[in-house]
Amino acid sequence: MDYGQDVLAGEWRLPRKGTIPDVEAERDLVVEDPDSGFCGAVVACGKDEVTLEDRFGKRRVFPLAKAGFLIDGRPVTLVRPVPRLSGRQVRSASGSIAVRDHKARVALESRIYVEGVHDAELVEKIWGHDLRVEGVAVEFLEGIDDLPKIVEEFEPGPGRRLGVLVDHLVPGSKESRIAAQISSPHVLIAGHPYIDIWAAVKPQAVGIKAWPQVPRGFDWKEGVCSRLGWPGDTRAAWKRILGGVKSWADLEPELLGRVEELIDFVTVKE
């Protein structure tokens, strides 16, 4: 998108009060963040954040209330779209347009792997419709300690891509060191920063103010249950958490962007 030689020229940073219009962050609306220079289309909009995707498929999450996004070179403030009733389009839990009367499709050779059964159940609840439309199967690994061997056995290649969703993929973590061992261009490892998929669910969806801090050396899930006063059965706790998730808006953007990135990666036409 061409905004001229200097998109930051002028005095848009210091506008008169009330001169920056509100614009609903509708899907496919193209905007630019002048601070970073990132330009992309809206692909998701939550209560407090908006996700943009550029023409190369790269996604970034920005605060929704931030003033100064650019549309055609003019500053705007993005706001969450107002829901509109329509008998023509139905949205899936991920926010995509639901495909009516869709028949089962033969699964692609490409796959998405997640760490555990909770990850798989959450992905199914939000993106299950999208995955079935695309013919993508999701499998869980029960941890990623053996990921390099698992990738080798999968034999990724053209038309046989592998996407892996990893918990706690932050610099210096065990997970990041394992992921660094994978170099195939047909494998994409994408991760969120949370120690467990539980914490990628927004606390408000579960009816709590925040996820409690659990000291190192303690089992994180058991520590969460103890500090929240929940029964010690982690399976019951997960059922409670999953039951609070109704749509993509109940998940943190760091997870939303990564799962959508993996789906795009494994469904690309080569």
Q: 166 with 262, same domain?
A: yes
Which pair of structure tokens corresponds to residue 7?
Answer: 């998109």
Q: 33 with 136, same domain?
A: no
Tens of each residue's pLDDT in the chain, 270 residues: 444 444 344 443 434 445 678 888 888 888 888 888 888 888 888 777 888 888 777 888 888 877 678 887 788 888 887 655 444 445 556 555 454 554 545 557 899 999 999 999 999 999 988 888 888 899 989 888 999 999 999 999 998 999 999 999 999 999 999 999 999 999 999 999 999 999 999 999 999 999 999 998 899 999 999 999 998 889 999 999 999 999 888 999 899 989 999 999 998 876
Residue 233 included in any domain? no
Q: 9 with 57, same domain?
A: yes
List the beta strands (DSSP E) in the chain: 22-24, 30-33, 38-45, 49-53, 59-63, 67-71, 74-79, 111-114, 137-140, 162-166, 187-191
Q: 117 with 249, same domain?
A: yes
Q: 181 with 131, same domain?
A: yes
Residue 27 included in any domain? yes
**Total domain count for the chain?**
2
Residue 73 included in any domain? yes
Would you give the DSSP letter of residue 12?
A: T
Residue 213 included in any domain? no
pTM surpassing 0.75?
no
Q: 78 with 182, same domain?
A: no
Residue 142 included in any domain? yes
Bridge-based pairing state of the strands 22-24 and 74-79 = parallel
CATH of the domain at 127: 3.40.50
Its domain, for residue 33, covers 1-84
Q: 116 with 59, same domain?
A: no
Distance CA 108, CA 165 (A): 18
Residue 49 included in any domain? yes
Which pair of structure tokens corresponds to residue 218?
Answer: 């303690």
Residue 258 included in any domain? yes
pLDDT at 92: 59
Q: 56 with 171, same domain?
A: no
Which pair of structure tokens corresponds to residue 85?
Answer: 């009733």
Residue 116 included in any domain? yes
